[in-house]
Amino acid sequence: MAIIRPFKGLRPTPELAEKVAARPYDVLSAAEAKVEATGNPYAFYHVSKSEIDLPEGTDVYSQAVYDKAAENLQRFIQDGTLFQDNTPCYYIYKLVMNGRTQTGLVCASSVSDYNSGIIKKHEFTRPDKEKDRINNIKTTRAQTGNVFLAYNDVPEVNFLIEHWMTDHAPAYDFTAADGIQHSVWVVDEPAAVQNITTLFEKKVPFTYIADGHHRAASASLVQKEFEEKQLISADDPANFFLTTIFPASQLVILDYNRVVKDLNGLSKEALLSQLEYDFSVVPIGHMPQAPTMLHEFSMYLDGTWYRLLAEEGTYTTDPIGILDVTILSNNILDKILGIKDQRTDKRIDFVGGIRGLNELVKRVDSGEMKVAFALYPVTIQQLFDIADSGNVMPPKSTWFEPKLRDGLISHLI
């Protein structure tokens, strides 16, 4: 069963919460972070993307970046921008986007659960990204990137959270520039804290990583290193990592689309011809049209959108084989375009559905990319089925929105 713990969160003073809150470090570039932080000395980007405070051209994986993050974090603590709660707490984090609400529990999840499979995974991780987070955690002695977990609904947990929100005022409540409302409650009463801990231990057999595989893996590797060097005891905070756990019924997965730099030496006509072996191919005009069902794809090539419908025989019925990302990977990216490993091949890039289909048009029309593919979103049940089967999805299969903000709650180790 899932082991979670309350913790002494590091968080902003209420009047600065909106200024501190920053988009997750891995969804924007250093240049974008620098623009968003302009004129805002409180922005958590000074910690999560600390290269913005170093000379342009600085290697973002250099020790100087991690040292700057630690320096800026300590400055925020010393000047009162951030403070640490005196007692271990849980936190309730509600997000509202386009009228849809999702409410999660911010807690410290067990590294042991991650290692043993109680926390289930559905993606492989990349060593370079793991190393980046490891260096960040070790240097700052903080987990500032939240791991987004999901679980099958437990009515008792949902009731307790809803009851707390009804009876208590939020510590933070603001609407960010992108229109997403962020509200946070602090659960600090000992009885309520114990009830939550006990409910998860009795009612939640597994949790699932929805977003944050690299953050979770890095926390595990840091804990392992500290343990091997005998730097931590059994009750040390490093044995846990920062998570927010959401009930599955409240979650929606967006599409995660692909753009490719070239046609692997093929002409447009040759590509279309080869696609017809495995797909029904129909041109649908110049206006973007998203797929409307499973096994349907939208392709943008040379100013025209095409509807691709996978023929029977291009997929299997097992949890991995039935996924549209698998169909695309096997029958187009690998078979026709020669992309064998999407994690390492520099010819392919990924575009989260939140950016819309016009982002695909922009990147192809600019000449940066040659062709784009839009996919129908994976469902949360498909994600659970794959994780339960012990399999992993192809890279960049899911995009969750809305996203948690960095800086609102951090976990010191």
Q: What single string gives the DSSP state of each residue in 18-70? A: HHH-B--TTSS-HHHHHHHHTT-TT-THHHHTGGGGS-TT--TTSHHHHHHHH
What is the model's pLDDT at position 231? 82
Question: What's the topology of domain 256-376?
Answer: 3.30.1760
> Do you find a cis peptide bond into 402, omega within 30 degrees of 0?
yes
Nearest-10 Cα torsion for 213, 215, 218, 219: -110
Query: Closest by alpha carbon to 11, among 95, 87, 88, 81?
Result: 81
Are 373 and 363 in contact, with CB atoms under 8 Å apart? no
> Do you find a cis peptide bond into 291, omega within 30 degrees of 0?
no
pLDDT value at 291 more than 90: yes
pLDDT tens per residue across span 72-103: 999 999 999 999 999 999 999 999 999 999 99
Calpha distance 132→212 (Å, rounded): 13
Calpha distance 351→16 (Å, rounded): 32
pLDDT tens per residue across span 379-396: 888 889 889 988 888 778
Calpha distance 65→79 (Å, rounded): 21
What is the model's pLDDT at position 99? 92
Calculate mean pLDDT across residues 141-151.
Answer: 95
Calpha distance 61→38 (Å, rounded): 22
The structure tokens 């009851």 sit at: 163
What is the model's pLDDT at position 258? 96
Calculate mean pLDDT across residues 98-109.
Answer: 95
First to last CA, the chain: 24
Neighbours of 179 (CB within 10 A): 10
Tell me whether residue 229 is exposed, middle or buried, using C-beta atoms within 10 angstroms of its C-beta: 0 to 12, 13 to 18, 19 or more: exposed
pTM of the entire structure? Answer: 0.85
Domain segments of the chain: what residues? 4-253+401-412, 256-376
What is the model's pLDDT at position 128? 84
